[in-house]
Chains A and B, each alone.
Chain A
Amino acid sequence: MTLLIGSMTIGLILSLLALGVFISFRVFDFPDITADGSTTLGASIAAILLVNGTSPLLATAAGFCGGAAAGATTGILHTKFRINGLLAGILVMTALYSINLRVMGRSNIPLLQATTLSSQAEQVATAALGRPSFDFFGWDVASRDAAVLLFAFAVVVVVGAGLYAFFRTDLGTAMRATGDNQQMIRALGVDVGNMTILGLAVSNGLIALAGALLAQYQGFADVQMGIGMVVWGLASVIIGEALVGTTRIGMVIAGAVMGSVLFRLLIAIALRAGLNPNDLKLVTAVFVFIALILPGLLARFGRGGARDA
């Protein structure tokens, strides 16, 4: 049960990452791999502030802002200096590795002693329930685990709803149109460059927020923790799209969250079944590869079959 709740919590936290990846890859069709760096940046900023006694809420918000700044930098490199989008992301990601080490001062900061959002949620839960565990349909569930899961769920609902609302405002629809048809939105008076910078800032802000929350949940920030996060987020988005099967913005947001949780559960099951944790990134990459080529392959086989018949 602890494993299940843990997987769902991490899945929910990383769904914020999936939403960020959704904005860059899907809304803007921009292959932004700054994410690997901004996940860690969010975690580093939050961690260093937490061990120095800053309030967890403030530290987490600072993580978000750091990620937003990183995303904006990638956007500026791409739009103002006309650097290829992929390369702009690589440059910022590489620079962030050193920046993250600078921020933390070392490669790993443990947060077990610090007051974090998780520890606060745990305290609230034990105080409210008055006992360390409760009975949930026959399972013994630790109150603190349940509290953190609920808190993560609440955060995701708030962020998801906020994002949905944003995408229905004048600014948000213009942002979606920028990804959909640049020629059209330019003819309607939108500066595509600035809109891209803003979009990447929001995207990487969310990704850094996921990093900050993940660090607080797992009890440490590590300079390596961002590696492969883009692919992870992309896998979640792809699963989400398969789950909801529509491009309506609200459903896609919900789908990305569900995809992230489902993907994390699948990984947990695979690890339980004996998958070597070292192979995890390889499995994830292969999964995304298959998901990317599958629609094309199916169409080809479909046509081939029709011709044979």
Chain B
Amino acid sequence: MLEVRDISKTFYAGTSNEVRALRNVDLNIEPGSFTIVIGTNGSGKSSLLNAVAGTFFVDSGSVHIAGRDVTQWPEHARAKLIGRVFQNPFSGTAPQMSIAENVALAARRGRWRGLGWALAPGLVKELRDRVSQLGMGLEDRVHNSIGTLSGGQRQALTLLMATWLKPQLLLLDEHTAALDPKSADQVIRLSQEVIQRDSLTTMMVTHSMQQAANLGDRLIMMYRGRIIHDFRDAEKRRLRAEDLLTRFDEVRRGELLDESAAEMLRRKYV
């Protein structure tokens, strides 16, 4: 479903701030897979997601989604294939517009927007139903503006919007990182439900070892712009949060040495 071939991306190339965010990353995600991406700060996990979403164009390599080469597609064109939930709860919704209007916008993701009424009666009825399934008590407030909603409510709503039209690929970018633990659990539960119900191909970045261990059928660990571990199926199911922490410790020990030495040691022992 998603095919990332040998992509690289360097920010601020040629300056003292040069960051090699992605280095020759290869990744193939099968339809229906729920892939977790973890990594330390600056490991490139969010860059990988953004490269797929089209937030920036990659320097080299190619990105294919659902068999289409989208490497040169701008972000808004890729939106036809991709549903997204951002880390920042403020990013996924238009605060001055109502819940209903936000959903109506999502109901035409990647489609032609003409002069038909955005809030067609049929749509309002359906969105009331689906909003009530979130269990957030928003169904009676669909005409209120988003500005009054809590972070958890916004993320739940953004998730509903991202999956309103079944996306070829769902991208979740640390979408519970900014939430309190209770809301985070709720949003994770809602994410699991919709991913299972619609068997969505999903890529989820997280910093929570717990989420990484409990969710998904595949786990990718990134470090310095590369994929350093790729656990699948049985191996993924056996993973515990502690195992992941151990792996991170290994990575951190490596960080104490300089980059080339760490690279050499890793190739020898890991």
A residues whose Cβ falls under 8 Å from a Cβ of B = 166, 168-174, 176-177, 180-181, 183-192, 247
Contact = CB atoms under 8 A, between A and B. Distances in A.
Given A173-B118, A189-B77, A192-B76, A180 B110 contact: no
Interface stretch (B61-69, B92-100, B189-197, B241-249): B92-100
A172 B108 CA distance: 13
A188 B114 contact: no
Contacts of B76: 186, 189-192
Given A170-B116, A181-B93, 20 more contacts: A168-B117, A168-B118, A171-B115, A173-B118, A174-B113, A180-B95, A181-B90, A181-B94, A184-B91, A184-B92, A185-B105, A186-B76, A187-B82, A187-B162, A189-B77, A189-B79, A190-B79, A191-B74, A191-B76, A247-B145
A177 B110 CA distance: 15
Contacts of A168: 117-119
B3 interface: no
Q: Which of B94, B101, B106, B115 has the most CB of A within 10 A?
A: B94
Q: Which of B76, B109, B110, B119 has the most CB of A within 10 A?
A: B76
Nearest to A188: B109
Q: Considering the complex of A and B, which 5 residue pairs feature the smallest CB-CB distances, nearest first?
A: A189-B79, A189-B110, A180-B94, A170-B113, A173-B118
Contacts of A190: 76, 79, 113
5 contacts: A169-B114, A171-B115, A187-B82, A189-B108, A247-B96
Contact of B111 (A169, A177, A189): A189
Interface of B: 53, 74-77, 79-80, 82, 84, 86, 90-97, 101-102, 104-106, 108-111, 113-119, 145, 161-162
A181 B91 contact: yes
B51 to A, nearest CB: 15
Given A171-B113, A185-B105, A188-B109, A177 B79 contact: no
B66 to A, nearest CB: 15
B108 A187 contact: no
A174 B116 CA distance: 12
A93 B69 CA distance: 42
Given A173-B105, A247-B145, A187 B116 contact: no
Contact of B94 (A169, A171, A185, A191): A185
A169 B161 CA distance: 18
A308 to B, nearest CB: 31
B86 A169 contact: no
A169 B53 CA distance: 27
Contacts of B97: 173, 176-177, 180
Contact of B105 (A177, A183, A191): A177
B145 A170 contact: no
Contacts of B95: 180-181
A169 B91 contact: no
B110 A184 contact: no
B79 A169 contact: no
B126 to A, nearest CB: 16
Given A173-B101, A173-B104, A187 B53 contact: yes
B157 to A, nearest CB: 11
Nearest to A177: B94
A177 B79 CA distance: 16
A187 B77 CA distance: 9
Contact of A183 (B91, B104, B118, B162): B91
Nearest to B164: A188
B11 to A, nearest CB: 18
A169 B105 contact: no
Given A185-B105, A186-B75, A190-B113, A180 B119 contact: no
